[in-house]
């Protein structure tokens, strides 16, 4: 009985009976995870005390306290040590009927330096060539040294309507960070430049000629001699030319001159700064006379502007100026002339 039952039990087991039974843990620990399989243990290769960068770019701090590294003291951002820089001071002035923007630069070796080491002043102006040029007016090699002016060449000055004397006048108006102020006579020009400035201020006199237009405000000065007229022009930096009317003892000082016309009762004089720019017109004038011919232009203007326009235009052979109506007619053909009250006219003897 016992043997038969035992044999039946052995042969009657199904497939599940062949599965091995799970091993029985020996000496199981009282706390879970005290012993883990080796393949499931989390390994750490980090060195204690150092930081590691995670894949996401974040810094993971270890549990242990990091080793303190010496940190250099930060610089004060409010007071950086800036070196080799320039500070500017600007001023806008009106001189000889034009507006000038004066720019003064001051170079510093360091922001901690007590003052600048060199400075300069310049202006920009549209030249007679149609190109804007920079005109250097003053150089200051140190805060204590005598300022040097003018700096640009005479040719550059002339291209913007200046000469040495007028450039010195502008230079005296430059604005400086040390609040320095200079008169035109305070600048060091150099010996050769001084001689050239004297020559530029000398008047060249032309008997029997009249410098047309460009009168200074308040002209003419009445009841003066030719010598007094010349002396006044030399003393006034604005005056570059003059016309003296001998018949009426009248002095017309001018801030420029370009066209001289014949006039038996006049004396013209021009400073050396503009003498080379003068043109002698061949216009012959008449009063209460109209010139007959072909008019190609008829514009409203003053008499002086009418004369200047015809003198400068090669096409113009004559003009008629209607005084009461302030009209200027320029002609490119001239056939004859006749009396006409109130008309001032002129005819070129030859083309300019």
Examine the domain organization and report whether 193 and 209 are in the same domain.
no
Q: Is the pLDDT of residue 49 over 60?
A: no
> Does residue 20 sit within a domain?
no
Query: Helix, strand or coil for residue 339?
Result: strand
Q: Out of 45-54, 102-111, 225-234, 296-305, pick the least confident.
A: 45-54
How many Å from the N-terminal Cα to the C-terminal Cα in the chain?
159
For residue 43, tell me if it sits in a domain.
no
Q: Which of 94, 96, 142 is nearest to 120 (CA)?
A: 142
Domain limit, last residue, from 198, 225, 260: 198
Chain centroid to CA 296: 41
Strand partners, 250: 222, 245
Q: 207 and 228: one domain? A: yes
Q: What is the mean pLDDT of the chain?
A: 82
Predicted local distance difference test score (pLDDT) of residue 2? 45
Widest pairwise Cα distance in the chain: 174
Q: pLDDT, tens digit, for every residue of 145-186?
A: 999 999 999 889 989 988 888 899 999 999 999 999 999 999
pLDDT in tens, 283-330: 999 999 999 999 999 999 999 999 999 999 999 999 999 999 999 999
Domain residues for the domain of 211 are 203-280
For residue 224, pLDDT beyond 60: yes
* Closest C-alpha among 291, 282, 306 to residue 337: 291
Tokens of 243: 């016309």
Q: Higher-confidence residue: 70 or 277? A: 277
Q: What tokens appear for 136 in the block?
A: 């250097």
Same domain, 302 and 276: no
89 and 172 belong to one structural domain: yes
Does one domain contain both 100 and 185?
Answer: yes
In a domain, 40, yes or no: no
The verdict on 194 and 90 lying in the same domain is yes
pLDDT at 272: 86
**Percent of the chain, pLDDT > 90?**
61
Predicted local confidence at residue 267, as pLDDT? 97
213: domain CATH number? 3.50.4.10
Is pLDDT of 109 > 90?
yes
* Residues 106 and 173 placed together within one structural domain of the fold: yes
Domain presence at residue 14: no
Average pLDDT over residues 260-286: 91
In this structure, are 321 and 343 located in the same domain?
yes
- pTM beyond 0.75, yes or no: no
Cα–Cα distance, 226 to 242 (Å, whole number):
10
Q: Residue 166: which H helix or E strand, with range? A: helix 164-171
Q: Residue range 220-247: average pLDDT? A: 95
Residue 100's nearest CA partner among 155, 153, 164, 172 is 172
Reported as a pLDDT band with limits 50, 70 and 90, residue 274 is: confident
Q: Specify the number of domains making up the chain.
A: 3
Element at 272 (helix H, strand E): helix 272-275
pLDDT in the model for residue 122: 98
């Amino acid at each position: 009985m016992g043997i038969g039952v035992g044999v039946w039990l052995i042969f009657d087991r199904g497939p599940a009976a062949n599965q091995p039974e799970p091993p029985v843990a020996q000496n199981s620990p009282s706390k879970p995870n005290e012993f883990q399989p080796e393949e499931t243990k989390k390994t750490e290769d980090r060195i204690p005390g150092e930081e590691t960068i995670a894949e996401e770019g974040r810094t993971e701090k270890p549990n242990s306290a990091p080793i303190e590294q010496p940190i250099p003291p930060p610089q004060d951002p409010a007071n950086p040590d800036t070196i080799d820089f320039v500070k500017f001071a600007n001023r806008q002035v009106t001189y000889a009927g034009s507006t000038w923007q004066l720019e003064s630069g001051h170079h510093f070796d360091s922001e901690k330096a007590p003052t600048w080491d060199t400075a300069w002043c310049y202006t920009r102006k549209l030249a007679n060539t149609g190109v804007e040029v920079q005109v250097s007016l003053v150089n200051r090699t140190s805060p204590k040294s005598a300022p040097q002016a003018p700096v640009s060449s005479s040719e550059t000055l002339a291209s913007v309507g200046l000469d040495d004397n007028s450039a010195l006048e502008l230079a005296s108006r430059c604005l400086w960070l040390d609040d320095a102020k200079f008169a035109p006579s305070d600048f060091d020009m150099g010996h050769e430049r001084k001689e050239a400035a004297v020559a530029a201020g000398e008047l060249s006199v032309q008997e029997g000629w009249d410098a047309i237009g460009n009168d200074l405000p308040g002209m003419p000065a009445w009841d003066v001699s030719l010598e007094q007229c010349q002396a006044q022009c030399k003393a006034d930096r604005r005056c570059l030319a003059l016309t003296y009317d001998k018949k009426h003892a009248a002095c017309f000082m001018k801030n420029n001159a370009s066209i001289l016309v014949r006039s038996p009762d006049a004396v013209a004089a021009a400073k050396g700064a503009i003498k080379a720019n003068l043109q002698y017109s061949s216009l012959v004038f008449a009063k209460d006379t109209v010139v007959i011919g072909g008019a190609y232009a008829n514009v409203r203007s003053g008499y002086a502007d009418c004369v200047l326009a015809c003198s400068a235009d090669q096409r113009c052979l004559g003009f008629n100026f209607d005084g009461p109506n302030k009209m200027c007619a320029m002609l490119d053909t001239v056939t004859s002339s006749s009396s006409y009250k109130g008309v001032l006219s002129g005819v070129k003897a030859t083309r300019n």
